[in-house]
């Protein structure tokens, strides 16, 4: 059992905290948001993430998981401290390290002698040095341990990671951090801080590249009369390619891919390399938002002026309530700019939240959202949408066009109910 402090209780920090408590460590989590801390102390999880509530309740009951306001009070007895604070995109595209620096400054004096501080936030190469400089504590070791969890399956990803990456010049500190994961027996890669930090950016950039590649092939499929779903099955059987992450869609998004790809562009530029490939990946993604908005325009008869579009799905992916950098919102903004009225439904979003334009009307039922709509656009891959009966939609919707940005609905069933179904890449 190791005494841990987790700074920041967002998607990464809360998952890390409850999972380490589940593995038997003694965990104190800190946040600057006093309301969030109060809710967590009562066992209430404010984000949608499978099993977080169950593990939170377990830790609170067992007494080895606590929540406090403010980082300094959390670290007093901690042997290892995890920084899980935001690293948003700065104005020039690079990662904004101000939260990491602020949290480091807060804990500098409070840290126990010879504590280890771990950067779990996604940070550019050289950030362990930044933390060391802010801490001014020669007795403290700073370790990079990037996080690879996916929202929607965060707990499972933490408990069954593909790998754990630990970067530190000090072997003993690296081993102490790696040992925290012993009971889940992961593949551990111990390396230097620069390599650990680069692994995280390279992984996200590669995944974004895969998705942009699939969407580019989907565009070609539409031109030549091929079916992208079959094409992806065909290439996915090649072991060198693999079948994961080959689904076409409305463009990629979420809190990490955009900011991390742009941060890697800046890192590359700073290192003297012009990363044109990654710039192209980002450009293809912006084009994909335009392409899907254009499919919706065409489905509305060529103009979106005063057209009503029903949108199913607002979050950046299914099984999360996270709206940050959601492709759905990027497309909705294009629809509104072209004069459309947008009615939306999402299983986890009941009201206008940060990032959702105020002009959007949000409905609490998938069918109700389609009332009077000219076009239905499916923009998030929630399983729930598959099971909506097209006949129920036909009874309230004005038009008979579906733009399925996730190739989610069963085309034959919808066609049978009188709809024209337009997918991606087929």
Indicate the residue among 84 and 403 with the shorter CB distance to ligand NAD: 84
Which of 3, 4, 5, 10: binder of ligand NAD (CB under 6 A)?
10
Choose the stretch contacting ligand NAD; rule: CB under 6 A; options: 28-36, 270-278, 342-350, 356-364.
Answer: 28-36
Least distance between ligand NAD and beta carbon 201 (Å): 10
Position with the least CB separation from ligand NAD: 10
Is residue 38 a contact point for ligand NAD (CB under 6 A)?
Answer: no
- Contact flags string 53-92 toward ligand NAD, x per CB under 6 A: ------------------x------------xxxx-----
Is residue 12 a contact point for ligand NAD (CB under 6 A)?
Answer: yes
Q: Which two tokens stand for residue 34?
A: 């006093």
Which of 21, 30, 97, 140: binder of ligand NAD (CB under 6 A)?
30
Choose the stretch contacting ligand NAD; rule: CB under 6 A; options: 10-18, 126-134, 186-194, 221-229.
Answer: 10-18
190, 175 contact by CB (below 8 A): yes
Least distance between ligand NAD and beta carbon 149 (Å): 5
Distance CA 343, CA 277 (A): 37
Is residue 33 a contact point for ligand NAD (CB under 6 A)?
Answer: yes
As annotated, the active-site residues are 256
Is residue 18 a contact point for ligand NAD (CB under 6 A)?
Answer: no
311 by Cβ neighbours in 10 Å (0-12 / 13-18 / 19+) ranks as: buried
Q: Which of residues 127-186 bind ligand NAD (CB under 6 A)?
A: 147, 149, 151
Q: Look at strands 65-69 and 26-31 and give their pairing.
A: parallel
Which of 38, 102, 175, 202: binder of ligand NAD (CB under 6 A)?
102
Distance CA 199, CA 196 (A): 5
Q: H/E element holding 116?
A: strand 116-119
Indicate the residue among 215 and 261 with the shorter CB distance to ligand NAD: 261
Residue 380's CB: how many other CB atoms inside 10 A?
27
Q: Which two tokens stand for residue 292?
A: 């899907």
Distance CA 349, CA 194 (A): 39
Q: Given the structure tokens 């060391």, which residue do they identify?
A: 132
* Maximal CA-CA distance, the chain: 71
DSSP E strands, 203-360: 308-312, 341-345
53, 37 contact by CB (below 8 A): no
Least distance between ligand NAD and beta carbon 7 (Å): 5
For residue 195, CA distances in Å to 128, 186, 377 come to 12, 19, 42
Q: Which of residues 247-276 bind ligand NAD (CB under 6 A)?
A: 255-256
Distance CA 43, CA 69 (A): 15
Which of 49, 79, 106, 346: binder of ligand NAD (CB under 6 A)?
106
Is residue 31 a contact point for ligand NAD (CB under 6 A)?
Answer: yes
Summarize as ranges the residues that interact with ligand NAD (CB under 6 A).
Answer: 7-13, 30-33, 36, 71, 84-87, 99, 102-103, 106, 121-122, 147, 149, 151, 255-256
């Amino acid at each position: 059992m190791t005494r841990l402090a987790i700074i920041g209780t967002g998607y990464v920090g809360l998952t890390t905290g409850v999972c380490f408590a589940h593995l038997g460590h003694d965990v104190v989590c800190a946040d600057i948001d006093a309301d969030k801390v109060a809710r967590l102390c009562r066992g209430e999880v404010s984000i949608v993430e499978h099993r977080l509530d169950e593990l939170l309740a377990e830790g609170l009951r067992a007494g080895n998981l606590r929540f406090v306001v403010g980082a300094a009070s959390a670290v007093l007895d901690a042997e290892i401290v995890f920084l899980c604070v935001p690293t948003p995109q700065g104005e020039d595209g690079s990662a904004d390290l101000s939260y990491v620096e602020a949290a480091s400054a807060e804990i500098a004096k409070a840290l126990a002698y010879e504590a280890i501080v771990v950067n779990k936030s996604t940070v550019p190469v050289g950030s362990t040095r930044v933390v060391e400089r802010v801490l001014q504590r020669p007795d403290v070791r700073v370790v990079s341990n990037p996080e690879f969890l996916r929202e929607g399956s965060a707990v499972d990803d933490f408990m069954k990671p593909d790998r754990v990456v630990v970067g530190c010049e000090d072997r003993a500190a690296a081993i102490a951090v790696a040992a925290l994961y012993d009971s889940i027996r992961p593949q551990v890669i111990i390396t230097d801080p620069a390599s650990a930090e680069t692994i995280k950016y390279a992984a996200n950039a590669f995944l974004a590249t895969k998705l942009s590649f699939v969407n580019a092939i989907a565009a070609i499929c539409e031109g030549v009369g091929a079916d992208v779903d079959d094409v992806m099955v065909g290439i996915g059987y090649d072991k060198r390619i693999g079948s994961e992450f080959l689904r076409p869609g409305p463009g990629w998004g979420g809190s990490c891919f955009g900011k991390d790809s742009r941060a890697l562009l800046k890192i590359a530029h700073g290192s003297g390399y012009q990363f044109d490939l990654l710039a192209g990946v980002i450009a293809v993604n912006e084009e994909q938002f335009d392409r899907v908005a254009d499919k919706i325009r065409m489905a509305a008869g060529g103009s979106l002026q005063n057209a009503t579009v029903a949108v199913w799905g607002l979050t950046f992916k299914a099984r999360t309530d996270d709206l940050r950098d959601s492709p759905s919102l990027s497309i909705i903004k294009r629809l509104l700019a072209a004069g459309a009225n947008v009615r939306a439904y999402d299983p986890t979003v009941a009201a206008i939240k940060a990032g959702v334009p105020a002009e959007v009307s949000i409905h609490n039922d998938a069918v109700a959202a389609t009332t009077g709509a000219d076009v239905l656009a499916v923009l998030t891959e929630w399983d729930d949408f598959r099971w909506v009966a097209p006949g129920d939609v036909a009874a309230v919707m004005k038009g008979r066009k579906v733009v399925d940005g996730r190739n989610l609905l069963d085309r034959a069933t919808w066609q049978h109910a009188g709809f024209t179904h337009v997918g991606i890449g087929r």
